[in-house]
Amino acid sequence: MYTSLFYKEWIKTRRPLLLLSAVFAATVAYILLNVAKLYQANPVALWEFIVQNNAAQAGYLKYLTLGAGIALALVQLAPEMQNKRLKLTLHLPLNESKIVGSILWFGIVALTGLYLASGAILLAGLTVYFPAEIVSANLLAMLPWMLGGLAAYLFAAWICLEPVWRQRVLYTIPALGCTSLFYLDALPGAYLPFVPWLASLTVAGFAFPFYSAIRFKQGVQ
């Protein structure tokens, strides 16, 4: 039954996921080509670039993680809310929490895979040109953005599953506030002490869509 639920999510998301993968791949390729070009043309300029960017070449991925999280939530859940199609899903002979959990896990696994794959390729590419310190600085810079993408996905799911428009607007305010915590401008590594807190916030965000699903189930209007 779970494979069937994942199959449904795959059918909904396969093309958007392909598109997101292409965008991430293009961004990573652009960053690496940019670095390679600077490296070949003028290594001094490259180091200037590093200083200007606080040693973080991965900056182009920053808001892409956020956009991917929100986009995936919309692709998965907007069709469920259209014509209240979620009723069909929740009427399947499975515990309703497990159904909602399966939908969310699919999204989290897909996003995590996307973030890790693009992050790994980028970091592997950077090791050709930079010492380990610069590469790890990039890793530390990307970590909160990736968590932010997952949190944005969960907050968007929370808003999307909510049956009342007024509540959706109200949920958007704390969702924006919490998500912005992941994207504050800071030196790479400055976030490190906060990463456990940001991770906790992401984990807590997993509960919110269930609250909306309960309200949907109760027919709140």
Summarize as ranges the residues that interact with other proteins (CB under 8 A). Answer: 1, 3-4, 7-8, 11-12, 79, 83-85, 87-88, 90-95, 216-219, 221
Q: CB-based contacts of 156: which residues, under 8 Å, 6+ apart?
A: 69, 70, 73, 74, 77, 175
Beta carbon nearer to other proteins, 37 or 84: 84
The Cα 86–Cα 84 span in angstroms is: 5
Nearer to other proteins, 37 or 91 (CB): 91
In the complex, least distance from residue 164 CB atom to other proteins, rounded to whole angstroms: 13
Closest approach, Cβ 2 to other proteins, in A, equals 9
Rounded CA separation 17/10 (Å)? 9
- To other proteins, the closest distance from the beta carbon of 152 in angstroms equals 23
Instruction: Give whichever of 8 and 168 is closer to other proteins, judged by the CB atom.
Output: 8
In contact, 2 and 102? CB cutoff 8 Å: yes
Q: Give the whole-angstrom CA distance, residue 186 versus residue 46.
A: 21
Look at residue 35 and give its three-state secondary structure: helix
Kindly give the residue spans of alpha helices, DSSP state H, lying in the chain: 2-41, 43-52, 62-81, 86-90, 96-126, 132-161, 165-180, 195-205, 208-217
DSSP 8-state code for residue 156: H
Find the shortest distance in angstroms from Cβ 56 to other proteins: 38
Nearer to other proteins, 1 or 29 (CB): 1
Nearest approach, Cβ of residue 92 and other proteins (Å): 5
Query: Closer to other proteins at the Cβ: 40 or 95?
Result: 95
